[in-house]
Structure 1
Amino acid sequence: MTGWYNELSKVLETRRVDVCAVQETRWSGSKSHDIVCGYKLMYKGTRGTDSGVGIIVLSKFDGNISEVQRYDGHLMKIVYITDGREIHFFSAYAPQTGQATSIKDAFWGMLDVKTVEVPPEDYIIIAGNLNGHVACRKEEHTTHGGHGFGEKNDDGQGILDFSEAHKLAIANAWFFAYYSGTNAKQID
């Protein structure tokens, strides 16, 4: 394993991040790899696309992962057990704003089904690029934490509606930009 995953794992180590969702991996297959700094990358991707999702976990927590479910190049999850509770950690990459409505509906339908399958006593974390603007202001939405970017668009409204339907809170809407030499990568 080379490239920006190794550099990303060094940043994760410096910032003391135990679990990280990544999108646009551009790798095909359903695999797991050990990467530097004691991290493990689990991913799912489809050949010939820019999609692909992954979850990077600090290897010392491998024993806490009870399952890895890879649905497609836009959605996967791990189930992490801590203190007797299960945390369902999703890595999601929603279709971009210009994509056909049918493609977006298929993604949101799958995320809806997989979220509903989570037992009510368990925790859900959905991390990733949901490709929408939820805006800076809360307005009437109870799930909006009051922190966002720009003006709300239709895809952002969909994110808010999904969050309210599943009683999820939008904890953060920020981006992490990664730079290495002349290369730049935005990490959501």
Structure 2
Amino acid sequence: MTGKRRELADMIQRRKVDVPCVQETKWRGSEARNIGEGFKLFSYGVDSRRNGVGGVIKENYVDNVVEMKRVSDRVISVKLEIEGAIINVISTYAPQMGCEIKVLIGTDFNGHVDRGNRRMRG
């Protein structure tokens, strides 16, 4: 992603995504940087030639970040509190190219998308 911050910000804005995850950033270090168009990238990487993960957050949600865990150059998580709800965003990268063994990732989200995640009051 080196040199593509502006392109990334433009694409996120066009698609109207508030908190996208990015992989293979190939940026070394642990930092947060503005990428333009009102977005901030939180990233982590150890090698400028491979791996690296991050989460991009719309600037009006940056103050809602409760916790940031940079686990490795393949896993980063961001915890946000928005309108009293806790939202966990986890960005992972598991390359398969050239691997002799398969990597399987399983999860149980136990959640709902859209309006189903809150009790409807009548």
- State TM-score, norm by structure 1: 0.53
Deviation at 1:64, TM superposition (A): 1.1
Percentage of identical aligned residues: 32
- Point out which structure has higher relative CO (alpha carbons under 8 A, 6+ apart): 2
Q: Quick check: 1:50 aligned with 2:50?
A: yes
Higher-helix-fraction structure: 1
CA distance in 2, matches of 1:82, 1:13: 20
CA displacement 1:140-177 (0-9 Å, x = unmatched): xxxxxxxxxxxxxx54xx33xx13xx3558x9xxxxxx
Which residue of the partner structure matches residue 134 of structure 1? Answer: none
Deviation at 1:85, TM superposition (A): 1.8
Q: Which amino acid aligns with 2:14?
A: T
Which residue of the partner structure matches residue 119 of structure 2? Answer: none
Q: Which amino acid aligns with 1:28?
A: R
Unaligned runs of 5+ in 1: 102-153, 172-188
Deviation at 1:8, TM superposition (A): 1.3
Deviation at 1:47, TM superposition (A): 2.2
What is the RMSD computed on CA atoms of the aligned residues? 2.2
Which residue of the partner structure matches residue 88 of structure 1? Answer: 88
Q: Quick check: 1:99 aligned with 2:85?
A: no
Alignment of 1:12-91 (within 5 A): 12-91=12-91
Structure 1 residue ranges, 4+ long, deviating more than 2 angstroms after superposition = 97-101, 166-169
CA displacement 1:9-38 (0-9 Å, x = unmatched): 012112211111000111111001011101
- State TM-score, norm by structure 2: 0.79
Unaligned runs of 5+ in 2: 114-122
SS at match of 1:19: coil
CA distance in 2, matches of 1:18, 1:62: 11
CA distance in 2, matches of 1:3, 1:26: 11
Q: Which amino acid aligns with 1:82?
A: I
CA distance in 1, matches of 2:67, 2:25: 21
Aligned residues: 111
